Amino acid sequence: MAFRNIAKEFQEFINRGNVMDLAVGVIIGGGFTAVVNSLVGDVIQPLISFVTGGGTEVPGLALDLNGNVVNFSAFISAIINFLITAAAVFAIVKALNKLNEIKEAAAPKAGLAKGATEEAAPEPRVCPFCRQQIDEAATRCPHCTSKLAGYRNDAEGPLDVDTSGTCARS
């Protein structure tokens, strides 16, 4: 019985949109990383090497410390890789935000969005005496206990209430 509950909860978890979006993002991110690495390794690094006159590595950016090499060239390459990735992600997010703005602006024109008058909530009922908000069906104000229109006390018979706050038996 407990296994079925766990399996059902797991199935609900997997079927949520957020999990699927995350999975798609990771898969696309892996492919995008390969493209960016190729751009940095095959295009930008050779251009840097050409400008500096070096080979595949930028000369003078590596230190040899008793056989341990500190490679600043690889670090600079990683920074360039990160900046290109960040710029590409920024451009994609910016384009998607612009697309969403265009869709939101076009929805009312196409009749796909409700008008502001349809979405507006009705004005709340207010006690004429204490000006506090009261329920629509109230016959007495819960704040000042004034008798409102529709108030009736069965022991006293029906009452008519005017807006001045005085009651008159009918």
Using H for helix, E for strand and C for coil, what is the string for 28-39?
A: HHHHHHHHHHHH
The mean pLDDT value for 95-111 works out to: 82
CATH number of the domain bearing residue 63: 1.10.1200.120
Residue 65 shares a structural domain with residue 11: yes
Residue 149 shares a structural domain with residue 107: no
Residue 147 shares a structural domain with residue 126: yes
Residue 163 shares a structural domain with residue 91: no
pLDDT at 9: 86
Percent residues over pLDDT 70 in the chain: 76
**How does pLDDT run across 11-38, given as a tens digit for each residue?**
887 777 677 778 878 888 888 888 877 8
Helices marked H in the chain = 2-15, 17-39, 45-52, 72-109, 116-119
Nearest-angstrom CA–CA distance, 77 and 154: 88
Q: Last residue of some domain: 98, 115, 132?
A: 115
Buried b (16+ CB within 10 A) or exposed e, 68-96: eeeeebeeebeebbeebbeeeeeeeeeee
Domain count, the chain: 2
Residue 26 shares a structural domain with residue 74: yes
Percent residues over pLDDT 90 in the chain: 1
Residue 22 shares a structural domain with residue 56: yes
Residue 14 shares a structural domain with residue 84: yes
Nearest-angstrom CA–CA distance, 138 and 161: 13
Nearest-angstrom CA–CA distance, 53 and 137: 86
Residue 162 shares a structural domain with residue 105: no
What is the number of alpha carbons within 13 Å of residue 107 lying toward its C-beta?
10
Cβ atoms of 148 and 139 within 8 Å: the answer is yes
- Please tell me the pTM assigned to this model: 0.42
Of the two residues 150 and 168, the one the predictor is more confident about is 150
- Beta strand 62-65 pairing with 152-153: unpaired
Q: Which two tokens stand for residue 136?
A: 């629509």
**How does pLDDT run across 34-43, given as a tens digit for each residue?**
887 787 778 8
Residue 127 shares a structural domain with residue 104: no
Residue 70 shares a structural domain with residue 135: no
For the cut 50, the answer to whether the pLDDT of residue 168 exceeds it is: no
Inter-CA distances, 161 with 2, 103, 127, Å: 62, 53, 13
Residue 15 shares a structural domain with residue 47: yes
Quote the domain boundaries for residue 53: 2-115
Residue 106 shares a structural domain with residue 134: no
Cβ atoms of 127 and 143 within 8 Å: the answer is yes
